Chains A and B, each alone.
Chain A
Amino acid sequence: MSAPLLSLKNVTKQFPSRGGASAMPVLAVDDVSLDIVPGETLGLVGESGCGKTTLTRVILQLEAATSGSIVFDGQELTALSRRQLVAVRRELQVVLQDPYASLNPRMRIRDILAEPLITHGMLPKGRGRATEIREAVGALLASVGLDPAVQDRYPHEFSGGQRQRIGIARALALQPRLVVCDEPVSALDVSVQAQILHLLRGLQVDRGLSYLFVSHDLSVMRQIADRIAVMYLGQIVEIAETEELFRNPRHPYTQALLSAVPIADAATGTARTRVVLAGDPPSPADPPSGCRFRTRCPLAQPECAEQRPPIELQGHGSHRAACFFPVDSIADLARAQDAQVLA
């Protein structure tokens, strides 16, 4: 494996409480370590409130980490000055979820796409600049499958899928090496999602990009990610290569999550073993002691409340999971849940 492009070590982000003296601070990201190598797509899955968006904001330095280290291309991001960060941001871009909210409705497409180029001084000043911009923007639009001639239009003239293409073009304008994609297809129609996933995959091959791909949708994840990290209440509970994770999930939360994903096939859909977790994820302001999943876990033992299970090698290759008492299959988990209900 080549040297990582991005490396997180024990990253924690804590938000102060809004309530009175008795309220606890919210630990949105808790001791997260992960690597992304060049050309790789790391998927980050989890339910709402698990801290996945906060984690991306900490990586992008839009929020300061409370502790831990974030190394991008050999540089420690948490130690950089604002000026030094500007240079790093050229290589570290983001595609946002809502293509309706993320494009300024009062700017022409050309101005939206030229803005990063101008901010980073990547265009010559003086005569000929307008032509340069027109050409650069035209090339960007072509690279995401849009007609270069549309650059005079405004965002409202485009459909959701086309707007997401513009959002991707903007992220690519500075030729970044890592693009954080925060739920880039969840606001799109089903028939358009595949187009955008296809485009992202093609751009990755052409440009050798790395993606940190955030999604709650495991169907999308399986199609795009090389490796997947599963987050629960601020912690990474399992991380493995995509196929390994889908075939041999070790953490009971991952197993339940995979079994809950509906599948568009009448035969396999109804024949599967399912584990429907009871209740909701607990509040990150008042997380359970020990293993954070134990309150919903069919396998929980008294020990789970005492100590936090470390994330350790399990299964094949670099597969890691944080569970003291894992079972081998979803069927085993379902049996444990039935036994728990009967008891």
Chain B
Amino acid sequence: MAILELKNLQAEFRLATGVVRAVNGVSFAVEQGKTLAVVGESGSGKTATALSILRLNPEPPCVYTGGEIVFDGRNLLDLSEKELRAVRGRGIAMIFQDPMTSLNPVRSVGSQIVEAVTRHEKLSRSEAKARAVQALREVGIANPEEWARQYPHQFSGGMRQRVMIAMALACRPKVLIADEPTTALDVTVQAQIMDLLDDLKHRFDMGIVLITHDLAMVAEKADDVVVMYAGRPVEKASARDTFEQPRMPYTMQLLQSAPRADRPKGAVLDPIPGSPPNLLALPPGCPFQPRCFLAKPECSAVVPALETKAPDHEAACILPAGELAAAARSLSDRATRIAETERQPA
């Protein structure tokens, strides 16, 4: 059952230079024990969406103009600031990209976890301390009693992210929002943190919303995927379907152009022309149309909404499902062909 559901969420930022519609009709459901990935480039609205869930976007300039965020049977957009505080941390917790700026440098790590716990639960000092130590142990920190007394600068990047996770999970939230949790970390440490999140997700039957730009991480760790472009969801499906049979030209081209460690040199690197659009000056019609390899004149006439192209697979494109499937197939055939010729010994 879905524990958190976004229904046609709309949020805009009213700036002096114009109105940016950063979250434009986003819908998805997060289930317990599953990971939903929101993937997109910078400016796609993925972080604005994540922050909207906890109402953490600064208001003003952010205004929620429509839709619902349903958590535990309540619409979070209707709650008062006081009621929201009870949800933040306890019902839905969040971890961020840069663990150093998220921690207070002048207080010990243990006391920061104690603070997070006692805000939501009536516990004695010693109980709260024990809980902090327990939380550090759960995220795989050896010698948690000792580390709880240390300060953030004494931790490595990976350890700090573990501390952030410990803090987020100390109150046993039902949903964890992870905003680029490993972008600042090294490859080997990245793998440790992602494995840890997977393990904790199963252990505590928690739903995870993973916000990232990293397609490969999504392919390996997510159950469901929402691809965002210029503030809009443009493709929605299971992770397997998204990667095996993408139905949105943007996703197809992205998968084709992103360098992959399992493809030999020279195997398909067709760059997507241009750069992501400025949200203050969107092109007419489909926001991806100026860069799309399948663009037709009609594409600049209407903004396409998500529609079903295959069972449980939606894409925001006006082209018929058959044409999209054929395009996806021809791109992946090309990739396979090139990879095979490259593999021939010279």
Contacts and interface: CB of A to CB of B under 8 A. Distances in A.
A197 interface: yes
Contacts of A219: 216, 258-261
Nearest to B266: A223
B188 A194 contact: no
A220 B259 CA distance: 5
Interface string A193-214: 1110110000000000000000
B137 interface: no
Chain A to chain B: the 6 pairs with minimum beta-carbon distance, closest first: A262-B216, A194-B257, A47-B186, A194-B271, A195-B271, A264-B215
B156 interface: yes
Chain B CB within 10 Å — which of A217, A219, A267 has the most? A219
A260 B187 contact: yes
Interface in B216-261: 216-221, 239-240, 242-244, 253-255, 257-261
B260 A191 contact: no
Given A159-B275, A189-B275, A223-B263, 12 more contacts: A191-B271, A193-B257, A194-B257, A194-B270, A222-B259, A265-B219, A265-B262, A266-B244, A267-B244, A276-B191, A276-B192, A280-B158
Interface string A137-175: 000000000000000000000011110000000000000
A189 B5 CA distance: 29
A262 B220 contact: yes
Given A219-B258, A219-B261, A264 B189 contact: no
A97 interface: no
Contacts of B322: none
Chain B CB within 10 Å — which of A242, A264, A268 has the most? A264
B261 A258 contact: yes
Interface of B: 41-42, 156-159, 186-192, 195, 213-221, 239-240, 242-244, 253-255, 257-266, 269-273, 275-276, 291
A48 B157 CA distance: 10
B257 A191 contact: yes
A191 B41 contact: yes
Nearest to A161: B275
A57 interface: no
A101 B121 CA distance: 45
A242 B266 CA distance: 12
Interface in A94-142: none
Nearest to A296: B188
Contacts of A222: 259-261, 263-265
A48 B259 contact: no
A256 B244 contact: no
A243 interface: yes
A261 interface: yes
B134 to A, nearest CB: 21
Contacts of A264: 215-216, 218-219, 243, 255, 258, 260
Overall SS of chain B's interface: helix
B253 A191 contact: yes
B187 A216 contact: yes
Interface of A: 47-48, 159-162, 189-195, 197-198, 216-220, 222-225, 242-243, 246, 256-258, 260-270, 274, 276-278, 280-281
A249 B218 CA distance: 26
Contacts of A263: 216, 219-220, 260-262
A2 B30 CA distance: 58
A196 to B, nearest CB: 8
Contact of A280 (B156, B195, B214, B215): B156
Contacts of A243: 264-265
Contacts of B266: 223
A260 B191 contact: yes
A189 B41 contact: yes
Given A194-B269, A274-B191, A266 B216 contact: no
Nearest to B216: A262
A62 B289 CA distance: 45
Contacts of A223: 259, 263, 265-266, 269
B136 to A, nearest CB: 16
Contacts of A276: 188, 191-192, 195
Given A262-B220, A276-B188, A276-B192, A218 B276 contact: no
B343 to A, nearest CB: 9
A192 to B, nearest CB: 6
A198 B269 contact: yes
Nearest to B188: A277
Given A160-B275, A269-B219, A280-B158, A193 B187 contact: no
Nearest to A223: B259
A246 B261 contact: yes
B235 to A, nearest CB: 14
Given A189-B213, A257-B188, A264-B243, A197 B259 contact: yes
A281 B244 CA distance: 36
Contacts of A225: 265
